[in-house]
Chains A and B, each alone.
Chain A
């Protein structure tokens, strides 16, 4: 099973860049890496997805090294509203059907 490991929590200040790294040593060839954001009392929301190298959208960047055993979500110039839990997911092909399994998540706290 493709498990993920993330830091439990991170602290930052407004205006700083935040990098959250996820480890996924057993990622399969066809798996994509997806990051979600979750605010309290809400369902997770898609942030970004990638397969290799670098992906950037209006919200974040995702860096994936060549071996794909880890990935780094980069949030530029965070604001208070970026305080949330961030989850890293990879496809899970353990039983022949692909399953997406959430990791532990990283709780990001942005302070003024």
Chain B
């Protein structure tokens, strides 16, 4: 098992550009989520999904879109990048929420100029 994989590892964007951060897991987990972590701060939930076709907003959803067409993949789209979105983005998955552990990917470090 590869666990949770994220691509790219690093990305630099210009203000206004769009891009998609990829996240995939091979553990057949139903629950997947995206977090952002700003320097020296804790993780904040952006969006999450409790299964294919079901997504919902977290604490800081503005400027991001998600979809969950398959169990394995949960991409995060930045619609129009802003410097405030400079952060490290982590994807996580688990079998169920609240009763199981989350497995985190290695993160994507995004810089928006």
Chains A and B form a bound pair: yes
Q: Which of A46, A98, A103 contacts B102 (CB 8 A)?
A: A46
* Cβ B104 vs Cβ A87 within 8 A: no
Residues of A at the B interface (CB closer than 8 Å) are 30-32, 34, 36, 41-46, 49, 85, 87, 90-91, 95, 97-105
Q: How far is the CA of A90 from the CA of B102 in the complex (A)?
A: 12
* Cβ B43 vs Cβ A87 within 8 A: yes
* Cβ B97 vs Cβ A98 within 8 A: yes
* Cβ A87 vs Cβ B98 within 8 A: no
Q: How far is the CA of A45 from the CA of B104 in the complex (A)?
A: 7
Q: Which of A30, A42, A99 contacts B56 (CB 8 A)?
A: A99
A residues less than 8 Å from B98 (CB atoms): 30-32, 90-91, 98, 100
Q: Does B74 lie at the interface of the complex (its beta carbon under 8 Å from any beta carbon of A)?
A: no
Q: Which residue from chain B places its CB closest to the CB of A43 in the assembled complex?
A: B104
Chain B residues numbered 27-46 whose CB sits less than 8 Å from any CB in chain A: 33, 35, 42-45
B residues less than 8 Å from A97 (CB atoms): 48, 50, 54, 56, 97
Q: How far is the CA of A41 from the CA of B107 in the complex (A)?
A: 8
B residues less than 8 Å from A101 (CB atoms): 45, 58-59
Q: How far is the CA of A85 from the CA of B100 in the complex (A)?
A: 20
Given known pairs A102-B43, A105-B42, the reply for A49 and B107 (CB within 8 Å) is: no
Q: How far is the CA of A100 from the CA of B59 in the complex (A)?
A: 11
Q: Nearest Cβ distance between residue B43 and chain A, in whole angstroms? A: 4
B residues less than 8 Å from A99 (CB atoms): 33, 45, 48, 56, 58, 97
Given known pairs A30-B98, A44-B90, A49-B101, the reply for A100 and B33 (CB within 8 Å) is: yes
A residues less than 8 Å from B56 (CB atoms): 95, 97, 99
B residues less than 8 Å from A103 (CB atoms): 42
B residues less than 8 Å from A49 (CB atoms): 100-101
Q: How far is the CA of A97 from the CA of B45 in the complex (A)?
A: 14
